[in-house]
Amino acid sequence: MSTDLRPRPQAPAPHKLSETPNPSGAHSDRAFRYLALGGGLVVFVVLALIAWSTTKEAWPAFTSEGISFVTSTTWDPAHGKFGALALIYGTFVTSAIALVFAVPVSFGIALFVTEVAPGWVRRPVVYVVDLLATIPSVVFGLWGIAVLGRAVPGFYENVASFFAPIPVVGTLLSGDPISGASFMTAGLILALMIIPIVTSIAREVFATVPSEQKEAAYGLGATRWEMIRGAMFPYARSGLVAGTMIGLGRALGETIAVALVVGANARVTPKLFSNGNTMAAIIANEFGEATGTHRAALIGLGVLLFVITIVIGIFARWIVSRSAHDVSTGAVR
Amino acid sequence: MKTSRGRLRASSLVVTAVALALVAAACGSSSSKSKGSSATTGASSSLPSATLNGSGSTFQQPYDQAAIQAFTQQHPGVTINYAGGGSGKGQTDLQGKLVDFAGTDALPKPADLPKYTGGALLYFPFVAAPITVSYNVSGLDKLQLSADTIAKIFERQIKTWNDPAIKADNPGVSLPSTSITVVHRSDSSGTTNNFTTYLKKAAPTVWTLGADKTVNWPSDTQAGNGNPGVANAVKATNGAIGYIDYSDAKASGLKFASVKNAAGKFVAPSLDATSAALQTATINPDLSYDPINAPGDASYAITSPTWIMVSKNQTDHAKGTVLKAFLTFVLSSDGQNLAATADFAKLPSNMLSKAQAQLNQIVVP
């Protein structure tokens, strides 16, 4: 508290639109507000229209299948049976494989670029990784089916025979039968496709960690890895989770690349080297020829995918907000 | 600043020029369109200028493109686009009047007919082609298969090439013990529909997977995308077998199995055998017919029909006139002789005359 008794200047009264001396400025302000509001509403309206019209088209399949649409694993158009469970499973499994491979690689590249690499290495690496993001997904799919799918069966056989005696992992890394077009191949291609996105977000996030945090960790005697784990990861956690969720969102919806390499066989199996199918891939493969209930069921898969993506988005925001809150309250782990 | 404004003006000029060049290139190119060139020989066209749009079956697409090209060369004011996309897409497009004609390998079910907002439909058969059972087994040049054996192979009840059932179909032929790799379609297809319809018809006690454009195949099989995809997959694996339409199978150089027809004869897929099957097929009043497992010694058993569907009551004079003229061309001797160049069989005379008679039912305002 100061003892300065000079009269202090009054803060100016807050501007009211009606009192502004510049009427055209007020109009443009109001116009801008309505424009921005309108833009936001248009997005909402379009989303609502998409949800409503797809559900309407899919309704015949929902009514004819009932709850077995999401609980049955049999997708058999020839006999009028449309169960989406195997496809939901395939979508999640391929996306999970993609995350398992892509996240460590992306974080590694991001850390390398921000912490380890000298300047002359940094720029080419960043450039090449960003270039990966510009490759169209159909090119990934064609490469997958022509090159990767042909080359991996031998590799899968070796891996399967090596891990066979180990209980859980042995079952995961086997096939029924082992096929070049499989969950694993699709997951690997998806990993390649989401690495650029996750890397660039992680890179940005790591770059914003304040140097005081890093120097403080070094000052306490941390090694580089301990500094990264103790000072950078907690600070960057919300951003890293957000980046991972964006990668997951892309993997869930990827259509053409997966349709070409996943094997077109809707089933639930823990053996990842076997052929399978995903929601987006089966829609791409079957929609052109589908009529009647089959078509409605495919649109129903689209509705399911829409709902799942929204749920994952909400979940992601919740995780991100929780991580951000932890950081802002100063928790350091 | 003068230089920065000059630079801005120059770069915006460059951008505008590039954009205009792209637009000009797009307008001038002909991708799936067939436009008659102005420097063609032939009589000047008496047809009104019009653009027709069609979509649907990719099975008939090679013939459609050949016919469109020949027809539009004679009539330079006419443009016809056939977009493919599958029989289902063609039917949906015709329901919504998005196209003037639809190609389809299977006719709409009676329950779907009210969806066609253009009113009553006419079905025009015009070509047909066989579906081959192609295989890739080193050392095996000739193969004969009966319907039951094919059904068992594709259902994975027979897993090796030297199985007794295959031996029974091929007396005196030495078969290797290679395991069989079955290749089917990953995408929905009229070819799958006709192949499975044949198996359901010819091997009813053995075939349990039903007949549809998409079928729940056993899990230890491979999938290929499109007829060329199946052909590539069969070519890549020794011991593989798959069902491929005739022109793609020919192009891939694979060998075909001779299939036992309803008369008990093993017949190889060919255009002549297809015509024989068409000749013996029963033609219904609405020109639907079923050549699958047709009777007759020379008939090929797995023959695929296909139709062009149009609305009976046309609403536009120019388009209706051109559509009628195009179908007349397809059903003329010129149009029918084009079929062989695209690896399709032309219609036999009884079917052709019925189709030509149906042309008069198209009502043009």
Q: What is the pLDDT of residue A153?
A: 87
Interval B251-307: pLDDT, tens: 899 999 999 999 999 999 999 999 999 998 889 999 999 999 988 899 999 999 999
What average pLDDT does this structure show over B167-177?
Answer: 92
Q: B32 pLDDT band (50/70/90 cuts)?
A: very low
A151 in B contact zone (CB under 8 Å):
no
Contact B223 A289 (CB under 8 A): no
Does the pLDDT at position B29 exceed 50?
no
The residue of chain B with its CA nearest to that of A180 is B222
B114 in A contact zone (CB under 8 Å):
no
Q: What is the 3-state secondary structure (H, E, C) of B223-281?
A: EECHHHHHHHHHHHCCCEEEEEEHHHHHHHCCEECEEECCCCCEECCCHHHHHHHHHHC
The residue of chain A with its CA nearest to that of B191 is A289
Per 3-state DSSP, chain A is made up of helix, strand and coil in percentages (nearest 5) of: 75, 0, 25
Distance of CA B245 to the CA centre of its chain: 8
User: How buried is residue B13: exposed, middle or buried, by Cβ count under 10 Å (0-12/13-18/19+)?
Assistant: exposed
Does the pLDDT at position B154 exceed 90?
yes
Residue of A268, A275, A289, A293 to mutate when probing chain B, most B C-beta within 10 A: A289
Stated as kind and residue range, the H or E segment containing A275 is none
Q: What is the pLDDT of residue B30?
A: 41
Name the residue among B62, B105, B112 with its Cα closest to residue A291: B112
Contact A295 B88 (CB under 8 A): yes
| Fold of the domain spanning B130-279 | D-Maltodextrin-Binding Protein; domain 2 (3.40.190)
Q: Where are the beta strands (DSSP E) in B141-204?
A: 144-145, 181-185
Q: For chain B, positions 302-321, list CB contacts with chain A under 8 A.
A: none
Q: What is the ipTM of this complex?
A: 0.76
The average confidence (pLDDT) of chain A is: 87
Interval A47-82: pLDDT, tens: 999 999 999 999 999 999 889 999 999 999 988 899
Measure the CA–CA gap between B227 and B229, rounded to whole angstroms.
Answer: 5
Instruction: Enter the tokens of residue A27.
Output: 């109009």
Contact B225 A150 (CB under 8 A): no
What pTM does this model have?
Answer: 0.80
The residue of chain B with its CA nearest to that of A292 is B112
Whether the domain at B50-127+305-361 and the domain at B130-279 fall into the same CATH topology: yes
Interval B325-334: pLDDT, tens: 999 999 999 9
Does the pLDDT at position B33 exceed 50?
no
- With a cut of 50, list the residues of chain A below it in pLDDT: 330-333
Cβ-nearest to A289 among B86, B211, B236: B86
Measure the CA–CA gap between B151 and B133, rounded to whole angstroms.
Answer: 12
The DSSP-derived string for B7-61 is HHHHHHHHHHHHHHHHHHHHHH--SSEEE--TT--SPPP-SPPEEEEEEE-SSSH
A298 in B contact zone (CB under 8 Å):
no
Interval B66-78: pLDDT, tens: 999 999 999 998 9
Tell me the three state secondary structure of residue A29: helix
Measure the CA–CA gap between B195 and B227, rounded to whole angstroms.
Answer: 13
Interval B109-141: pLDDT, tens: 888 888 898 889 999 999 999 999 999 999 889
Contact B220 A177 (CB under 8 A): yes
Phi, psi of B284 (to 5 degrees): -80, 165
Does the pLDDT at position B38 exceed 50?
no
| A-B Cβ pairs (cutoff 8 Å, strict) | 94
Phi, psi of B222 (to 5 degrees): -110, 160
Q: What is the pLDDT of residue A331?
A: 46
Closest approach of B126 to chain A, Cα-based (Å): 21
Name the residue among B71, B30, B20, B27 with its Cα closest to residue B50: B71
Measure the CA–CA gap between A37 and A49, rounded to whole angstroms.
Answer: 18
Name the residue among A241, A208, A213, A243 with its Cα closest to residue A228: A213
Contact A289 B87 (CB under 8 A): yes
Phi, psi of A314 (to 5 degrees): -65, -45
Domain limits, chain B? 50-127+305-361, 130-279
Q: B5 pLDDT band (50/70/90 cuts)?
A: low
Cβ-nearest to A77 among B212, B220, B236: B212
A293 in B contact zone (CB under 8 Å):
no
Stated as kind and residue range, the H or E segment containing B211 is none
Task: State the CATH class of domain B50-127+305-361.
Answer: alpha beta
Residue A116, Cβ neighbours under 10 Å: how many? 12
